[in-house]
Amino acid sequence: MTVKEYNRSVDEFADAVYRFIRSDLKDESRARDIVQDSFEKLWRHVTEIEYAVVKSWLFTAAYNNMIDIIRKEKRITHVDVLPDRDFTYENPSSDLNEILHEAVSRLPEQQRTSVLLRDYEGYSYKEIGDMTGQTEAQVKINIYRGRLALKNYIGKVETVI
């Protein structure tokens, strides 16, 4: 990859990587730090990476960095240990975007990450599996369960609008 392609990748992908990490961490400054670290790592490997795979490489590097930070802070939760939460929407509001963000934030981490990468960023199941270290089947299961939980939380769109 050339320096010009690196600069173009910063312009094209920095915002998307930032939004993805911020949606999981809910902390703007840490999300910015992770994005900066990912681009720094990309710069160190600029001669080894083709421009065609830069977007996927950046998302993978940012995701792995985020997971490392979460593990260091011991905030990772396992699906089996999750407390029973009331996963239904009760607050009457007309802001569908706010309701959707609330619903996504309630998902377990692996489901949230898989749903965001698939539905917001448009990655294939295989690409998501490569980024998260899961099998393609596990990614499909996480996306299905996440979407089902979102559907149950939101209910009918007519009741929200």
Give burial (CB, 10 Å; 0-12/13-18/19+) of 86: exposed
Q: Please state, in angstroms and rounded to a whole number, the distance separating the CA atoms of residues 116 and 127.
A: 13
Domains and CATH numbers, the chain: 3-72 (1.10.1740), 79-160 (1.10.10.10)
pLDDT of residue 19: 87
Return per-residue pLDDT of the chain as tens, 161 residues.
888 888 888 888 888 889 888 888 877 888 888 888 888 898 888 888 888 888 888 888 888 888 888 777 765 455 554 444 555 445 555 567 777 788 888 888 888 888 888 888 888 889 888 888 888 889 999 989 888 888 887 775 555 55
Give the pTM: 0.51
Taking the C-alpha atoms of residue 59 and residue 132, their distance in angstroms, rounded to an integer, is: 10
Instruction: Return the pLDDT at 89.
Output: 47
